[in-house]
Structure 1
Amino acid sequence: MTAGNDFDPDHPPELFSARLTPHRSLNRVGFLVVMAFVSVLSFAAGVVFLLMGAWPVFAFFGLDVLAIYWAFKISFRYAKAYEEIHLTPSELYVRRVSHRGHVVEFTFNPLWVQLDRKIHAEFGIERLYLVSKGRRISIGSFLGADEKASFSKALMTALQAARRGVTYNPLH
């Protein structure tokens, strides 16, 4: 037997693997550009009001810049959250990590798990759930409707492959 067609029952083949992360359209460089623009604009407007004698307005422009900075930092902190989903013929494993690093793990038998989709007529897929033996967990809550549709199609295909079982082809 060659290494190319070895079958190890302790490590079944992975049928599906995904890491879901929240979408963030602004990277670090973009953040620095936006903050520089807001800071320069606020400083210029604040100086105009300062020269007119309305010095408290200058301080409020500074507070606005701090508020925008704080909002971006919170957004970047929440971007650290992710979900990992791994499917083998004998196990569906979901690992959810929050932005604070808290980990929650779920394990399902792929023969019993169902993918439930909550669909809105106008907006598409709103929610995805894994349902098995009375347990129902939400997955991919931060994905957009098109991303949820693509993800659910790929996961359903993999779940169907898991239900068919492992196929061993000694020729490959």
Structure 2
Amino acid sequence: MSPRAFKRFILLFGAGTFALSLPFYVMGAWPVVGFMGLDVLALYIAFRVSFYSARAFETLDLTPFELRFVKTTADGARAEWRFDTYWVRLEQERHEEFGVQRVTLVARGERVEIGGFLGPDQKAELAEDLTKALAVAKRGPVFG
């Protein structure tokens, strides 16, 4: 959602909440207006927190020689891991009922979780696609 659309949404939601709270005010239940205003504030805060969290991202760069994983937090802090394509392996932690819970890159004693923000189905798809890509990369570069 764009900042302009967010502003419109909050204003529209606030106006609707205000309109719905007016009858309570007229009937003498004025505290309802304040509590409905708190609902608008809570929604605003929840969206702002969500927008902030959405700035975090991860990237995977795979070459025949190296797998590079970069994790950037919402505040811009970066952490980078480099793995030899030949030695890295992918591990999945599965739950019978909920599916893939964790996907981890493992190489020479180092473990890094990837895709922590993804849902179980997306983690399974990531693991499948990355396993295939690693198999191709381990075959080495293709010349001519």
Deviations 1:132-164 (A, max 9, x none): 111111000111222222211111111112211
Runs of 5+ in structure 2 lacking a partner? none
69-78 vs 41-50, which moves further: 41-50
Give the aligned residue type for 1:154.
D
Paired residue for 1:58, among 25, 33, 37?
33
Match of 2:139 in 1: 164
Within a 5 Å distance, the mapping from 1:1-40 to structure 2 comes to 27-28=1-2, 31-32=6-7, 34-40=9-15
How many aligned positions are there? 143
Give the aligned residue type for 1:59.
G
Runs of 5+ in structure 1 lacking a partner? 1-26
Within a 5 Å distance, the mapping from 1:86-165 to structure 2 comes to 86-165=61-140
Matched position secondary structure for 2:141:
coil
d(CA) in 1 for partners of 2:77, 2:9 = 31
The sequence identity of aligned pairs, in percent, is: 41
Give the aligned residue type for 1:48.
P
Deviations 1:57-76 (A, max 9, x none): 21222122111101111011
Matched position secondary structure for 1:153:
helix
Paired residue for 1:43, among 18, 24, 30?
18
Determine which structure has the larger helix proportion and give its number.
2
d(CA) in 1 for partners of 2:8, 2:100 = 35
d(CA) in 2 for partners of 1:100, 1:54 = 43
Q: Give 1:32 shift.
A: 4.9
d(CA) in 1 for partners of 2:114, 2:5 = 29
- What's the TM-score, normalizing by structure 1? 0.76
d(CA) in 2 for partners of 1:114, 1:87 = 13
Give the aligned residue type for 2:80.
E
